[in-house]
A and B are shown apart, each in its own frame.
Chain A
Amino acid sequence: MRYFADKQDVVQDIFSRYPDTERGRRSALMPLLREVQNAFGYVPEENIEEIASLLGNTATEVKSVMSFYSTYHTIPTGKHHLQVCATLSCAIAGSDELWDHLVDTLGIQQGEITKDGLFSIQKVECLGSCGTAPMLQINDEGYHECVSKKRIKLLLDQFRRGEPFNPDILPPIPIHAGQQELENGLPAGGLATTLPSLVEGEA
């Protein structure tokens, strides 16, 4: 399944951000991967090859870059991909217990999806929210913090009812001024003081 076959404008847009040289084009690797993952929830093997041919390098190289980052998935993920932080602060605060609890309640291991297709779980390294450990990230949507068994149950039930996720905090996205827009149409990036609050309700 070729993903970019009918998306020449997307490809053009991504390539236009980098120098038009043999080396420069290689930089488009990450956004192309992200594009595919946003569409499928993971990057299928055939799309790795597709990206390699777009960039003019080998699939091994694409796979190498991709496997370096835990945020790219080679296997399908559930509708809600729960990424449990397992680094020091969270580990001390009980991320192991949280993980075991998730494995028990959902009946899946890392790399699997629940039968209803809703959930998948993954252990990740520090997400930079040590003060609110243990915590987890849902897809790219945001953080769920100070997680307890009760909070997890509420969250999972909420997802099962089909309700949207209300993150405690949005994940920080490094962006440069003028290059991207927020969902509300405001320009992203710029000085910290001019940034609109990422957390809804706060000024």
Chain B
Amino acid sequence: MTQPSSITVIVDGREVQVPAGTSAIDAVFQAGRDVPYFCSQQYLSPVGACRMCLVEAGTPRKNPDGSWILDEQGNKKIFYFPKPMASCTLGASDGMVIKTLSEGVKKAQAGMMEFTLINHPLDCPTCDKGGACELQDRAFEYGYGVSRFQFDRRHAEKHYELSEFVVLDQERCIHCKRCVRYFEEVPNQEVLDFIERGGHTFIDTIEGGLPSNFSGNITDICPVGALLDNVARFRGRNWEYDHTATTCTACSVGCSITVDARNGRLERIVGRDNPEVNEQWLCDGGRFGHPYVDDGRLTQPLIKVNGQFRPATWEEAIAAIRTGLDGVSAQQMGFFTRADITLEEGIALEAFVKQVGTPNVDHAPRHGVVVNAPAATLLDVATADAIVVIGADLSEEAPVVDLRVQEMLKGGVLPLQYDFGTAIADLRLTERMHRYRERLAVFYPTTTRMHGVADISAEMNSIQVLEHLSSVISGQYAGGAIEEAAALLKNAKKPVIILGSDVLKGGQIGLDIAAHIALSSNAKVLPIPADSNGVGLSRLEIVPQQGADLSLLGTLKAALVSRLTSIPEDFSGFLVVHETQLTEVAKRAHVVLPALTNYEKRGTTVNLEGRLLKLEPAAISSGESADLITALGAVAEALSLKAPIRGQRSAQKALKDRFGVDVADLPAQGKIVDLGRQYNARTSKYHRPEVGMWKETMLRSERLREKLGGSFNAAVAD
């Protein structure tokens, strides 16, 4: 790839080198200066709607003979634009001079600010955005401080529910058009638009609410308090929140999030910039699915006495476990966890079961398969020239991957990265970009959202798709969409095959066919794991190699079950459940240990690309709840053993010895590490992944169920 040619721009007297094609606003920020802006957003097209980023700009000119036009001093004469220019839509050119501090610029920006504020209600004291509002900050920095507008302000609907999750305050809207552009450009759903015009303009949809899955992002990008997260609304002021930068583990994508907690309660989740994973976007499940964290949480151990639970201390719980495990041999014990635990918890479990000497260990949900083909990253997906999706309902199983595919459809233009971060206005992004629909093929047994945007699509059984695709690649004829998809793969330079649960649940045969297809067409493969840390945990020996898997729980005498939503009915032994709520499974337990949610853990998770991402504990009060390492420590104590891994540090050391990676020192955007050999084992119905965006755990919250319309059920693969 050739290095883009570099140009020199002079910003307030400072020379700065930027790649050709840079916008003036990015040149200004690259030079370390600042201009206010509202309508520009890193991953959206620059449109120049708010007119706040005004600068004075000029360029030198050449004489007809090619020499530069000079001024009296013999310097290149700068020809300024006659009016202040919106720097977000102005392309920087070589030798351009930009002034951001001149009197003219200050007056223009302050005047624009005054104009923007004319109809703004200035209800900052009661606005959720107060303290984190771009308009508030910019008005303070660049405004006059007073308004000359003496007339009635515009009055409009202040509590307009665009959907159950997003509330619009029409008075606060400054018409920057970010949300309107977001829906068209990112999820490709043109459902929001300006209605009316001039000062009466407001944002609305007549599609009957916002479509689900990606609507919450507009609350993040709104530069004012117009679009608000209805789950977090009125629950805290921005400066009261404890912000924790961590990773979402609702699905296997591993989006970067900021968890905001107030007084020990998780109140809000917002997206965090990670250009390599989620850019700034989240799915609605990841954003709004958190109320369960504070809903009916267990804060101390429970012991069942005469069929009734009574609260207990950890010491009492350990004593109860000791009694329960009395006379149970290691071979009759089993340890089963959900597959969203951290890598640290995973290696602690692995070490513990080895110490105990039991082969009965398993994690669920999982797919008992190994894909022997080059792995694709999310950037590969976004910049691919052909994508074939087989057996995945992407917008449900791994929603943000859907958005990266949408990016691929737009030609895979990724905003440039500068020293200050992602380009604020990448001029290559435009409104209503051409969608290369012919580069996408989608196969799923039923119609998915992706079918609507792909030129090649069919409702087909996934194994059938793989077999036909494989035979076409081997030279036979299958016809229809399969034939087109095969041609697409064959002619592409950077093809990616995305495999979803409908393929992965089918066993190794389908995967071998998929690997064959990938290798014959030079395609990279992105399988979607069954749970958030599926990739990481598959590298640990916590699948039953000889012992009982989860479906054989009934053959055991005692088991520890950590946060599983279903276990076999026929188990009648001694049950210790490590859970966040008193679920149906927990009710069957003899001892319940309170568990931490992934928002409260420190550790490492591995996303679907194999990227190691950090989890940081948010300031959520959960009583005596503990992670799996501590829960295993309790069982160890009950067995009079000393667990080999008893905390973060020893877990990190074990991971370093095992994988050669220092998980305490991961970069903010995570790091893709080859974790080596993958372990697998056969699966049963207890290993089936949840394939809906709303997870069973999230739906424990009454508040969320109400918003989703009463009896909403999580989708599990059949």
The interface of chain A, by Cβ under 8 A from chain B, is: 23, 45, 48, 57-61, 63-64, 67-68
Contacts and interface: CB of A to CB of B under 8 A. Distances in A.
Given A59-B206, A63-B206, A68 B190 contact: no
Interface in B166-216: 189-197, 204-207
Given A23-B432, A48-B206, A61 B190 contact: yes
Contacts of A23: 432
Contacts of A58: 189-191, 207
A102 to B, nearest CB: 22
A62 to B, nearest CB: 9
Nearest to B208: A59
Interface of B: 189-197, 204-207, 432
A172 to B, nearest CB: 21
Given A60-B191, A60-B206, A67-B197, 11 more contacts: A57-B190, A58-B207, A59-B206, A61-B190, A61-B193, A63-B193, A63-B195, A63-B206, A64-B193, A64-B195, A68-B194
Nearest to A26: B432
Nearest to B204: A60
Contacts of B195: 63-64, 67
A60 B207 contact: yes
A67 B196 contact: yes
A126 to B, nearest CB: 13
Nearest to A49: B206
Looking at A58, A60, A67, which has the most chain B CB atoms within 10 Å of its CB? A60
A64 B202 CA distance: 10
B200 to A, nearest CB: 9
Contacts of A68: 194, 196-197
22 contacts: A45-B206, A48-B206, A58-B190, A58-B191, A59-B206, A59-B207, A60-B191, A60-B192, A60-B193, A60-B204, A60-B205, A60-B207, A61-B193, A63-B193, A63-B195, A63-B206, A64-B193, A64-B195, A67-B195, A67-B197, A68-B194, A68-B197
A174 to B, nearest CB: 20
Nearest to A23: B432
A175 B190 CA distance: 31
A199 to B, nearest CB: 32
Contacts of B196: 67-68
B244 to A, nearest CB: 36
Contacts of B191: 58, 60
Contacts of A63: 193, 195, 204, 206
A59 B432 CA distance: 17
B124 to A, nearest CB: 29
A169 B189 CA distance: 45
B135 to A, nearest CB: 24
Nearest to B194: A64
A64 B206 CA distance: 10
A74 to B, nearest CB: 10
A70 to B, nearest CB: 9
B215 to A, nearest CB: 14
A135 B480 CA distance: 64
A61 B181 CA distance: 12
A64 B432 CA distance: 16
A19 to B, nearest CB: 13
A23 B192 CA distance: 18
A21 to B, nearest CB: 9
Nearest to B180: A64
Contacts of B194: 64, 68
Contacts of A67: 195-197
A139 B206 CA distance: 27
Contacts of B432: 23
Contacts of A59: 206-207
The 9 closest A-B pairs by CB, nearest first: A64-B193, A67-B195, A58-B190, A68-B197, A60-B193, A60-B205, A67-B196, A63-B206, A59-B206
Nearest to B190: A58
B705 to A, nearest CB: 28
A48 B207 CA distance: 11
Contacts of A60: 190-193, 204-207
B203 to A, nearest CB: 10
A36 to B, nearest CB: 16
Nearest to B197: A68
A91 B633 CA distance: 83
Contacts of B205: 60
A61 B204 CA distance: 10
Contacts of A45: 206
A55 to B, nearest CB: 11
Contacts of B189: 58
Contacts of B192: 60
A63 B204 CA distance: 10
A57 B194 CA distance: 15
Contacts of A57: 190
A28 to B, nearest CB: 16
Nearest to A65: B193
Nearest to B437: A22
Residue in B191, B194, B196 with the greatest tally of chain A CB atoms within 10 Å: B194
A66 to B, nearest CB: 9
A23 B190 CA distance: 14
Contacts of B204: 60, 63
A60 B195 CA distance: 9
A45 B197 CA distance: 19
A45 to B, nearest CB: 8
A187 B205 CA distance: 41
B190 to A, nearest CB: 5
A58 B187 CA distance: 14
Chain B CB within 10 A, most for which of A23, A45, A58, A59: A58
Nearest to A45: B206
A63 B432 CA distance: 18
Task: Pick from B189, B193, B195, B432 the residue with the most CB of A within 10 Å.
Answer: B193
Residue among A48, A63, A64 with max Cβ neighbours from chain B (10 Å): A64
A173 to B, nearest CB: 22
A21 B713 CA distance: 41
